[in-house]
Structure 1
Amino acid sequence: MLCDVVIEDDRWEAAGLEDLAERAARATLEHLALNPEDWEISLLGCDDARIAVLNEDFRDKPQPTNVLSWPSEERGAEMPGAAPEPPLPGPDPELGDIAIAWDTCAREALEGDKPLADHVTHLIVHAVLHLLGYDHVRDQDATLMETTEVEILGKLGVSDPY
């Protein structure tokens, strides 16, 4: 399996996080012509309290967020709007770690009138792209990242979240 999922909040079990994560991560890698069998991603399904601690520890933002990602190495492109160089398979298959918070995800899905599975799928695609060096700080990078997300989600039958 591509995704090694640790569930701290049982609500993720009922939502099928493992299957959603595996499907979204595989679709993301395949879209970028990367073989999912060459890579590993660690994913933590937690609640808002846990992700708030992680967000404060790693980003100095003491509040919950929907998803966080920690790439195993810096992969971002230097030129604004350029696609990051894809990683090369090797002895260390780890792309990085992701944490996703139930409370924020469920609230956002409800507020956005989106199926929870679709919203979670989008967030996993988004986080995997971060692991691969995509970002949305610069406008050109945000456009590339969002366009790539929409293409991947379309292949998965998920509506454009933007």
Structure 2
Amino acid sequence: MTAELPIAVDVLVEAGTWPANSELAKLVADAVEASIAVGGLRFVEGSELSVVFTDDDHVRALNAHYREKDRPTNVLSFPGTPPGRDRFGPLLGDIVLAQETVSAEAEQEDLPFEHHLTHLVVHGLLHLFGHDHIEDAEAERMEALETKILGRLGVADPYAGAELDGGAHH
């Protein structure tokens, strides 16, 4: 891990075949650090974030319960701060990732698994900070910010050559 993060991050591997905990913790820490540095994310001191690495079955159940979509998805975000605040926290929320879906997407898109996973962690984190991609203009702003954050991490633009799709991730 790089320098001490200003956000406490809890990484939990619940299910699935993920890289080692130490690799996941570093990937998440790097994504959080870059998102704070580039994204202008405003949070209260002592804020906390939880990142859960699980499998498609668990994410499908969460997606069905909270979004009424009975299928797995790559990442879900559960914000801990109500929208419309100028600072987020202290409970930022939870990011939940589905191993089989993330792996399949990385393979289909011919991306390094770690790059796709980093993108999804950044994507989920931005959702916790009020960013969204429901409207085209929102999607363009969010995708531009993701691209800038990922560039800092040496991850290629995940949207290069893709048509705008407000529902691509999540």
TM over 0.5: same fold?
Answer: yes
1:89-118: CA deviation from partner (whole Å, max 9, x where unpaired)? xxx521111100100000000000000000
Q: Which has the higher helix share?
A: 1
Question: Once the two structures are aligned, what percentage of the paired residues are identical?
Answer: 42
Is it true that 1:133 corresponds to 2:130 in the alignment? yes
Letter in 1 for 2:141: L
Q: 2:61 aligns with which of 38, 53, 56?
A: 53
Rounded Cα–Cα distance in structure 1 between residues aligned with 2:46 and 2:154: 25
Q: Which runs of 5+ in 1 are unaligned?
A: 77-84
Corresponding position of 1:82: none
In 1, are the aligned partners of 2:41 and 2:129 still within 8 Å (CA)?
no
Helix, strand or coil: the match of 1:96? strand
Rounded Cα–Cα distance in structure 1 between residues aligned with 2:153 and 2:102: 19
TM-score under structure 1 normalisation?
A: 0.85
* Superposed CA RMSD: 2.0
Rounded Cα–Cα distance in structure 2 between residues aligned with 1:151 and 1:86: 22
Q: Which runs of 5+ in 2 are unaligned?
A: 160-170
TM-score under structure 2 normalisation?
A: 0.81
Higher relative contact order, structure no. (Cα contacts within 8 Å, ≥ 6 residues apart): 1
1:129-158: CA deviation from partner (whole Å, max 9, x where unpaired)? 000000000111001000000000000000
1:15-42: CA deviation from partner (whole Å, max 9, x where unpaired)? 8222211111221122233478742111
State the aligned residue count: 151
- Deviating beyond 3 angstroms after TM superposition, the runs of 4 or more aligned structure 1 residues are 33-38
Helix, strand or coil: the match of 1:11? coil
Rounded Cα–Cα distance in structure 2 between residues aligned with 1:70 and 1:41: 10
